[in-house]
Amino acid sequence: MSRPTSNRARSRLAIVGVLLLTPACLFGSPTEPAPDDLDGLARWLWVNFLAADAATMADASSKLHVAADFDGISEPRRGLLDDLASDDLAAVEMADRDPRPAQGMYLINLLGCTLPQLEAVLLDPDQAAIQPQIYQVYQRTYLTDVEAFDQRTASVVSWEYYYEAQPMPAARYGAHPRADLRHVGASPGVDLPHGPLLVQRIWLPQPAEYFDTDANVFDLDFQIAVYYEAAPGQVAKFYPFWRHIAFTAIGASTDDNWMIDAVLDGEVEWDRRLVEACAAH
Per DSSP, the three-state class of 95 is coil
132 Cβ contact partners less than 8 Å away, ≥ 6 residues apart: none
pLDDT for the residue numbered 13: 46
Q: How confident is the model at residue 15 (pLDDT cuts 50, 70, 90)?
A: very low
User: Rounded to whole angstroms, what are the CA distances from 14 to 5, 19, 48?
Assistant: 12, 9, 22
> pLDDT category, 30, cuts 50, 70, 90?
low
pLDDT (mean) for 123-131: 97
Task: Give the pLDDT of residue 7.
Answer: 42
User: pTM score, two decimals?
Assistant: 0.89
Predicted pLDDT of residue 188: 84
pLDDT classification of 245: cutoffs 50, 70, 90: very high
| 151-203 pLDDT, tens digit each | 999 999 999 999 999 987 778 999 999 999 999 998 888 889 899 999 999 99
Question: What is the average pLDDT value for the chain, to the nearest integer?
Answer: 90
Among residues 38, 39, 40, 43, the alpha carbon closest in space to that of 64 is found at 38
Q: Which domains does the chain have, with CATH numbers?
A: 7-279 (3.30.530.20)
Main-chain phi, psi angles of 221, to 5 degrees: -155, 115
Summarize pLDDT for 36-52 with one digit per residue, the tens.
999 999 999 999 999 99
